[in-house]
Amino acid sequence: MSEQGHCCSSERSTPRADKIKANMISRLNRVEGQVRGIRGMVEKDVYCDDILNQIAAVQSALNAVGKILLEGHMKSCVMERIQQGDNEVIDELLKTMNKLMK
């Protein structure tokens, strides 16, 4: 098993290495705190531009988590399914990437 883990396509789950999972959870915890901070800024009528800058920071942080997940997904789940002859995974990946790029 690679550091990224491996995909269990029949169960639709992906075991991840503890280090990678801890990294993503840490990043998501920071995002969660940032979102709570934005809510507080709105409640306090903070200047719009300051709130928009915080929203951009949250989007960037979520994109970073998405990149980690996408890399792991491509190196494990997608690769394994292609090797098993399941080419439908390419269409699934393309749909997901289109959603990420909106």
Tens of pLDDT, residue by residue over 11-53, are: 677 777 888 899 999 999 999 999 999 999 999 999 999 999 9
> Which of helix, strand or coil describes residue 77?
helix
Q: Residues 12, 92: contact at Cβ < 8 Å?
A: no
In a domain, 45, yes or no: yes
Domain CATH for 58:
1.20.58.1000
In a domain, 6, yes or no: no
CA dihedral 16, 22, 27, 30 (to 10 degrees): 140
Q: Which of 7, 1, 3, 5 is nearest to 84 (CA)?
A: 7
In a domain, 84, yes or no: yes
pTM of the model: 0.78
**Structural domain total, the chain:** 1
- 48-96 pLDDT, tens digit each: 999 999 999 999 999 999 999 999 999 999 999 999 999 999 999 999 9
